[in-house]
Chain A
């Protein structure tokens, strides 16, 4: 560094420790603020208006929310979201089970692991199409199988009582794969000496799993729960591809219902859609704050 620099440069020099992070943060933070942070507030505001994307926005106050409480479709969506959340959680133990099954060192096991994982890599659109084909009335594989066993096929996606479960099953497929890979990585890092010590104490099977392995898998399980909750609440793609919310709205979830109200052919109630989004956001916030709280605590502990 030459000493013949302008005073300007040396001012920069003195302050670069403070300024560098600001400059480095600025572009990313700006983009994030414009595309993620500001829209959240904007949606909150919009949810208080009646707006069809064409005319003027009309102030409604809380009327959109009052309407939500009486809206049968909203209740169905909310109920289905709860079903999604509960059943999606099956991915966590199911993923663990497959991980344990695959955590061996026989020949070719790496290929098996990749192939078991690979549903997760496929787009949900494709997963939805695959399962729609699997369930299809009259010629779908599942329909045929059931017909072979019971004599009468079941068209899962035509039955208002079954359709949601059919879609969740499709969603679980990649989700289990995701949880599996988290657990496999976790299992790889379980301290071998602790296992040996426990073995000497006579622990094995489920007991070993419960008292020795699971506590060590806690970080993997935490992430698995987080991604599964988010996945369950984001269940838009499969519903849209497989049923469009039907038959007669029985498979709607909040994320889909919001889109339907705000932007679909029969929709354009953007204010009402925004109100649905706010409710969904509220539900997500319950989980987010829990996750963040735990992460902040870990962060503090690490420092």
Chain B
């Protein structure tokens, strides 16, 4: 119904005249989402499949601008709730769960055996022992690197943090930024912090920290920053004024060697002219060999608002989206990873396969990313602190005290 041309409207009139009865049984399922162009097309294809399998359900997707959606959801949940709505896993959904805006969908999980098939995301979808939505995609984070830059200075791809830091000397001597980032929008810096903390203190500690149970002045946090200080001099100097895409350009041009990023950046690297031959991916190196390897994989989710009118069909839709086939198809189209363990990924994309391998074998746990694991306010203050530390590392004590003061206020 998006494109009503003459033929279609004629058909519509004929349809209205002849078969009103056929339409009367159709139940509408309103779905609010915030897809960019490519995921939108992928989801529309999936909805078509769903409608074909369930001819009596008509899914009406209303797509919002990605940024505007974050504001809009707070309004529509209370005033004109759809039957389905996009959001994120982890602490990011906590405000909506706690204020009773999302519906408990534990039965969908139980009835469809999702506790096993979506097991890797179970923890991040659970609050108070119940599940509040269905995850349909995620993507790995790690270090993307320029193979040519490594070859130029004769450095080996590191597996431990000490090797990584030692390489930085070599890159610096050649005038190459060992580690690049663009923190104009703050969040890229949090990726570095998350991994340093996961590798130094482990998943449990990191989760306790982001959920406010550990003081920011704790010894463990200081240890994390001590590791960060080792590479701080080798980070791109003006990162605070550039966006993540600008930093990606530095990696493409060989002016930078390593970049802690999410897999979505591959598209940007390749647009800049990199290929599978000179773009590399490595898991974040080991810092403390005694902690289990944990990874970062932000998960996107679909929820049923408490104000939904067609709950029954909404649950049918969630079960469909959770299925292995649906997740395979959707993620193949958008170049991300399915969560359902029965799904498959394209074997010819080295980054997708590496990510699938990395996440499905993670012993430690999967973090959502700092701005989803920590409450929004803490996330903002924290990420500002990370950015400040990368510019002015001597301010560390003041930064940690500030974060600790914020923690005591925000989590109480």
Contacts and interface: CB of A to CB of B under 8 A. Distances in A.
Interface of A: 52-55, 67, 72, 135-138, 155-158, 160, 243-244, 246-249, 260, 263, 265-269
B377 A266 contact: yes
Given A246-B184, A266-B377, A55 B99 contact: yes
Contacts of B77: 54
B354 to A, nearest CB: 30
Contacts of A67: 409
By DSSP majority rule, is chain A's interface helix, strand, loop, or mixed? loop
Contacts of A247: 183, 240-241, 387-388, 391
Nearest to B189: A248
B409 to A, nearest CB: 8
B71 A263 contact: yes
Chain B interface residue count: which class? 20 to 34
Contacts of B384: 246, 248-249
Given A248-B387, A265-B70, A54 B240 contact: no
B238 A54 contact: no
Contacts, number: 75
- In the complex, the 7 A-B pairs of residues with the closest C-beta atoms, listed nearest first: A158-B241, A266-B380, A247-B240, A137-B238, A155-B238, A248-B388, A158-B238
B271 to A, nearest CB: 18
Contacts of A138: 238
27 contacts: A52-B95, A54-B78, A54-B96, A72-B402, A136-B241, A155-B237, A156-B241, A157-B240, A157-B241, A158-B237, A158-B238, A158-B391, A243-B241, A244-B185, A246-B184, A247-B240, A247-B391, A248-B240, A248-B384, A248-B388, A249-B384, A263-B71, A265-B70, A266-B379, A266-B380, A267-B376, A269-B377
Given A54-B78, A263-B71, A266-B371, A244 B184 contact: yes
Given A54-B74, A156-B241, A267-B377, 16 more contacts: A54-B77, A135-B241, A136-B241, A138-B238, A157-B241, A158-B391, A160-B391, A243-B184, A246-B387, A247-B240, A247-B388, A248-B240, A249-B384, A265-B70, A266-B371, A267-B376
A247 B241 CA distance: 7
A268 B186 contact: no
Contacts of A244: 184-185
Nearest to A52: B95
B76 to A, nearest CB: 12
Interface string B166-207: 000000000000000001111000000000000000000000
B239 interface: yes
A137 B380 contact: no
A138 B180 CA distance: 14
A266 B391 contact: no
Interface string B336-350: 000000000000000
Contacts of B305: none
Interface string B123-167: 000000000000000000000000000000000000000000000
Interface string B39-53: 000000000000000
Interface in B193-247: 237-242
A65 B185 CA distance: 28
B298 interface: no
Contact of A268 (B183, B238, B376): B376
B406 to A, nearest CB: 10
B385 A248 contact: yes
Interface string B71-99: 10011011000000000000000011001
Contacts of B184: 243-244, 246
B374 to A, nearest CB: 10
Contacts of B368: none
Nearest to B371: A266
Contacts of A156: 241
B371 A54 contact: no
Contacts of B95: 52, 54
A144 to B, nearest CB: 14
A265 B241 contact: no
A53 B74 contact: yes
A281 B195 CA distance: 43
Contacts of A248: 240, 384-385, 387-388, 391
A288 B122 CA distance: 57
A147 to B, nearest CB: 12
A158 B182 CA distance: 10
